[in-house]
Amino acid sequence: MGKHVIHITEEEAAGTGVATLLARVRAGAEVVIESGTRPVAVLQPAEPSPRTISECIALLPADSTATIDPDFAGDVAAAVEAHRGLLNPQHQQILIPAVRPE
């Protein structure tokens, strides 16, 4: 299934508010703000910024016992999978009025 795209006018965007539009983006939609039929702006999820291993290590608390061993990648994968519901905003139902679907 493709990305859900919502087309709204500039007036609708101004009346809806940025927080509401961002909630739609967090829920997985792309919001296209248009003047007539011409797109003026597109709100879409930002690409996540990758971190290097050294940046990840620098974020650990001083008393951390984390080590990079042969099981490290598996440990990270297991931690991500265990928290997938918390990391995926599409599991949340967000009801937002004042936007018309494509």
Residue 86 has pLDDT above 70, yes or no: no
Q: Which helix (H) or strand (E) holds 5?
A: strand 4-9
- How would residue 90 be classed by pLDDT, with cut points 50, 70 and 90? low
Average pLDDT, the chain: 78
The alpha-carbon radius of gyration of the chain (Å, integer) is 19
Residue 74 phi, psi dihedral angles, 5° rounding: -65, -40
Q: Note the pLDDT tens digit of each residue in 27-55.
A: 889 999 999 989 999 999 887 777 787 88
Predicted structure pTM score: 0.48
